[in-house]
Structure 1
C-alpha cells in the first residue's frame, strides 16, 4: 500500500491553562474550548483526511503576548515530531527586541522559530504596524531571516498594505485571510483589500479561521466559497496554505467538518494546486524541512 500524501497544518495552537492563563477564553461562547489542549489532542482530533492526505506536520502559533510561552512552544517543537515550526512572540516595540530574538534563537530549540506574530487585531491604533518602534522591531525580524504573521481584521487592511509596501523583503503571511466578514454586506470591502494586498509578491495567505468568522452554528460550504474563490484568484494556489486554527475551530464544527469543507473547495483544483495549498506553500514559507532529526516519522 502506498504512503498517504502529506498534509501540513500551517496554523494551530496549544495551551495549558494550569501553566499559562488564556484570558481571551473568558469571552462568552468560548466555553467549548475553555480547557487545556495539547499536540496529542490535535492528533486525536485530526481523523479526517483532506483530499486523501493525513496530517504529517504542523506550525504552532503563539496565543498570548509572552516570551516564556514562545520558549515553551520551541521546546515542544524540539520534542514532538509533528511540529516543524513555531510562530512566536516578542515585544516589537522594545529597544532590545533584537537581543530577545537572538536569545530565543540561541536556545537548543531555537531553530524552530520561523516567524513572529502580534495580535494586531486587538490594537486600537489604526497605524500600529507603522509605529517607529514597531518598524524597528520588524527590521530586527527581517534581519534574522524570520517571517511575520499578520493578524488583522477587515478594517485594518490599510496598515497591512503599508507594511507590505515598506518592507518588501520581509516574508509576510496573512493569518485567517484577514478575518473576512463571511455572509455580511462588508465582504466586498474585504475582497478589494485582499486583492490589493495580494499584489505584493512577498505576501502569502492562510486558508484558516474562516468558519469562526461565519455563523458558528449555521454556516455552510456555500458561505465559505466566495471567500475561497477570492483567495484563489488573488493569491493563486502557490501562495495559499491550509490551516485548521485548531482548537479554535471547535467552536464552529471542528477539524472534521473544516477538513471536509476544504476538500470540497479544492475539488476543481489540479493535483499540483492541491499539493501547493496542502503542503508546499507552508513547507517553503516556514522551512519545515529544517532541524528535524533524521529518521523521525510523521505522526500518523
Structure 2
C-alpha cells in the first residue's frame, strides 16, 4: 500500500480560496475525480485530505467526501482551537456522517502575526482537547515559527504534532540555517512527525532539480528518521511545479529503498490511525 498523507480539494463555486492569487494555474476547481486516476496511476492507494481554509463548514464536507470515496482514508480538518467548547465541537465533528475519518486538526498558523500563537493559553487548551479526542495536530508554519512549535510540543507530550512541508524551508534560496537547527530541535521530541511534502513548490517551481531538494530531505531524514516521516503530495498546489506522478517519483528518489515503506505507508497508517 502507498499512502499520500497530504492533499487538498476545492470547489470555487462553493467558496473562494482567497489565498490563491488571481491568474494562478491552480485558481480553478480540483476534485477527487481529478485526483483519483492520477493517484492510481502513481500507485497511491489511500490519501489524507487536508483543510485549506479556516471555515467551519469545510470539515463536515471533507468528512462526507471521505465516506463517499474509497481513496480517502482520513481527514485533517479545522476547528477554532480557541473556542470555549472546543471539546464538544470535536465530539460533534466525530459524530457527523463520515466523522470516523477525522484524524487530525490543522490551523493556518503560518498566517498568524504572533510567532508565539501556539503558546497562547487558549490555544494550548484547544490543543489539549485535540489530544484528548485522540487526534493529531498538523503544523503549517513558516521557519521563524518553528521554535514555538518545539515549545508547544514539549508542553503537550500527549499530543502528536505533524510538521507539514518540513516547515517550509527556503529551498529556492538554498539556505539551511537556522531552519535546520530549529527542525532538529523539534525532531528531538518523540511526539513529533514530519511530512516529506511541499518540497517542489518551496524550490524554484520553474527550475528545481532533485539536487536542490536533497539537503532538506536529508536533514529531516536524519532528524526524524523514516519511522517519523511520511510522504505527502500537496496536490494540487504541487501542480505548480510538476504533475502528480512526478511528485511521487521525485520523493521516492530522495529516500532509500529500505526507508520507502515507512515513509510511503507505515508512518501515515500509525500516526493517523488509518
Could you say whether these structures have the same fold, taking a TM-score greater than 0.5 normalized by the shorter chain as the test?
A: yes
Report what 2:246 is aligned to.
257
Whole-Å separation in 1 of the counterparts to 2:243 and 2:204 = 14
Report what 1:91 is aligned to.
80
2:31 to 38, 48, 52: 38
2:10 to 12, 15, 32: 15
2:257 to 269, 280, 290: 269
Whole-Å separation in 1 of the counterparts to 2:109 and 2:153 = 15
> C-alpha displacement at 1:184, in angstroms?
2.4
> C-alpha displacement at 1:20, in angstroms?
1.6
Does residue 158 of structure 1 match 2:137?
A: no
- Correspondence 1:272-291 to 2 at 5 A: 273-288=259-274
Secondary structure, aligned partner of 1:21: coil
Residue-by-residue CA offset, 1:83-105 (whole Å, 9 max, x unaligned)? 01100000011111112111111
Whole-Å separation in 1 of the counterparts to 2:12 and 2:172 = 33
Report what 1:211 is aligned to.
200
Whole-Å separation in 1 of the counterparts to 2:85 and 2:269 = 30
1:57 to 46, 49, 53: 46
Task: Give the ranges of 4+ consecutive aligned residues of structure 1 lying more than 4 Å apart after TM superposition.
Answer: none
- Correspondence 1:116-131 to 2 at 5 A: 116-131=105-120
Instruction: Check the 8 A contact 2:252/2:260 in 1, yes or no.
Output: no
> C-alpha displacement at 1:217, in angstroms?
0.2
Report what 1:234 is aligned to.
223
Secondary structure, aligned partner of 1:46: helix
Q: CA RMSD in A?
A: 1.3
Whole-Å separation in 2 of the counterparts to 1:263 and 1:85 = 22
Residue-by-residue CA offset, 1:156-199 (whole Å, 9 max, x unaligned)? 11110111110011011100110111142542211111111100
Q: Which ranges of structure 1 fall in alignment gaps of 5 or more residues?
A: 1-5, 289-300
Report what 2:102 is aligned to.
113
Question: What is the total number of aligned residue pairs between the two structures?
Answer: 274
Secondary structure, aligned partner of 1:148: strand
Whole-Å separation in 2 of the counterparts to 1:225 and 1:47 = 26
Report what 2:127 is aligned to.
138
Q: Which has the larger radius of gyration?
A: 1
Q: Which ranges of structure 2 fall in alignment gaps of 5 or more residues?
A: none
Residue-by-residue CA offset, 1:146-165 (whole Å, 9 max, x unaligned)? 11001101111111011111
Whole-Å separation in 2 of the counterparts to 1:112 and 1:257 = 28
Instruction: Check the 8 A contact 2:143/2:167 in 1, yes or no.
Output: yes
Report what 2:190 is aligned to.
201
1:224 to 191, 195, 213: 213
Per the normalisation by structure 1, the TM-score is 0.88
Instruction: Check the 8 A contact 1:47/1:256 in 2, yes or no.
Output: no
Whole-Å separation in 1 of the counterparts to 2:48 and 2:249 = 20
